[in-house]
Amino acid sequence: MDEEELTRARQASYSAQEVEAVPPELRGKYFEEINGRYVFQTDLRRSIIFGRHDLTQDAPISRLDLITCRNTLMYFNTETQNKVRGRLHFAIKDTGFLFLGRAEMLVTHANVFAPVDLKHRIFRKIPDRDLRVRPGAQTQAQGEPADNPAALQQMRTLALAFESGPLAQMVGDPDGHLALASARACALFGVTPSDLGRPFRDLEISYRPVELRSQIEKARVERSPVLFRDAEYPTPDGGVRYLDVQIAPLLSSDKSLMGVNLIFSDVTVAHHLQEEVQRANQELETTNEELQSANEELETTNEELQSTNEELETTNEEMETLNRELSSRSGELNALNTYLESILASLDVGVVVLNRDLMVRVWNLKAEDLWGLRADEVQGQAFLNLDLGLPVVQVKPLLLACLNKDTSRHSLILDAVNRRGKPIQCRVTCAPLVDKQEENLGAILLMEEWGG
């Protein structure tokens, strides 16, 4: 009966901590992550009805396979317990079951429910048409007034007025229960006679095609009609209907609220016609604009073609010149690279060139021989993250000094292990890498076995 908890259940939105116990594969399958929260799949959630239900007053829901009513009856007096048992008996199918709490028994009601498992408090219904009650009939038999009989009777008198009408209509009583539904409404929204007397907020129509619950409350409070236009309503065959929805309060002569009337007008044909008219107008406007621009374009096309031919001839000449220059420079670059690689390979010192992010750009053969890593394995990698026999962390101060425009060279002698696993002492010298404009481009490391 806690409306706040029911609202929270309808939203089905949970924090990451609340769904931590849900296995990842199920969490990915049945939840959607929205704004940092996990929301249960909308279509599945809508298959569950969360409704506030008063066992002592509200009409029972019919044809249920199972009712769990655990540790509830124990709080009622004998008269109320009898009333609730009768409602539960009516609600359960002849093949259905009742599940009670450990502190509850039905020993004195063996003609209504028979035990299936006393230890776990599971009972089956004993079918008996004489024991069945209709919603509200039991309270009348005990001399109690039916729930809002005057209001419900007034609602039912409206049935003859709209039952044969072409529009889908529904009427809700002052307490928010569905009192009447026209044949057209039943066919359109799948409403059944068993839905009469149920809270309107528990029916699918209360939130599809549009959210009606808050708007019904607005109409009730303000005593004025509320209108929605072109609400989209998906049909079972995969199509879409468009409905105008009018919510009108029903007032008595003394202006007291008797209920609300919901009228659904199918405007699908008109909606499609309006869309087609708008689309045709837009196409006509677009066509006129395209014709005007086409005329202007045709006038300028000849001039553009002439100038384009001239530009193409000039471009071809420029491209030939560029190709010759590029070919020449590519040859020079290849020669320089070969020359540089020969120099680096001939050095008996491990040479490593780093950029300003301390990423490896050059790694010569001596460095490969020292540490057992090929150039293609380290190029583009962070030097300080390399797994070498050299303690690279101790080299970091030298590198930072070079990057801070310190033009002097710095050296360290460190204990290291070469690629063969032999302990050695390695002298590491760091120098800044600068261009002609004295712009710092990185650092150069020289590594050589020392004293060996």
Amino acid at 193: P
- pTM of the predicted model, to two decimals? 0.34
In this prediction, residue 358 carries a pLDDT of: 93
| Tokens representing residue 60 in the block | 């029972």
Cβ-count burial 209-219 (b if 16+ within 10 Å, e if not): beebeebbeeb
- Structural domains of the chain, ranges and CATH numbers in brackets: 3-141 (3.40.50.150), 149-266 (3.30.450.20), 272-346 (no CATH), 348-449 (3.30.450.20)
Amino acid at 225: P
In this prediction, residue 162 carries a pLDDT of: 56
Using CB atoms within 10 A of its CB, is residue 226 exposed (0-12), middle (13-18) or buried (19+)? buried
In this prediction, residue 161 carries a pLDDT of: 56
Q: Which residues pair with 68 in a beta bridge?
A: 99
Q: Is 235 helix (H, G, I), strand (E, B) or coil?
A: coil
In this prediction, residue 173 carries a pLDDT of: 86
Q: How many angstroms separate the CA atoms of 266 and 91, rounded?
A: 35
Q: How many angstroms separate the CA atoms of 178 and 200, rounded?
A: 5
Whether residue 59 contacts residue 136, with contact meaning beta carbons closer than 8 Å, is answered with yes
Q: Is 247 left (phi over 0), alpha (psi -120 to 50) or beta?
A: beta
Q: How many angstroms separate the CA atoms of 171 and 244, rounded?
A: 16
| Tokens representing residue 201 in the block | 């907020």
Virtual torsion, Cα 220, 222, 223, 227, nearest 10 deg: -80
In this prediction, residue 160 carries a pLDDT of: 54
In this prediction, residue 352 carries a pLDDT of: 94
Element (DSSP H or E) covering residue 335: helix 268-346
Q: How many angstroms separate the CA atoms of 38 and 27, rounded?
A: 8
What residues contact residue 139 under an 8 Å CB cut-off, 6+ apart?
A: 83, 145, 146, 147
Using CB atoms within 10 A of its CB, is residue 449 exposed (0-12), middle (13-18) or buried (19+)? middle
In this prediction, residue 259 carries a pLDDT of: 87
Instruction: Write down how long the chain is.
Output: 452
In this prediction, residue 18 carries a pLDDT of: 94
Q: How many angstroms separate the CA atoms of 13 and 4, rounded?
A: 14
Give the residues of the chain that fall short of pLDDT 50. Answer: 107, 129-156, 158-159
Using CB atoms within 10 A of its CB, is residue 368 exposed (0-12), middle (13-18) or buried (19+)? middle
What is the DSSP-derived secondary structure letter of residue 441? E
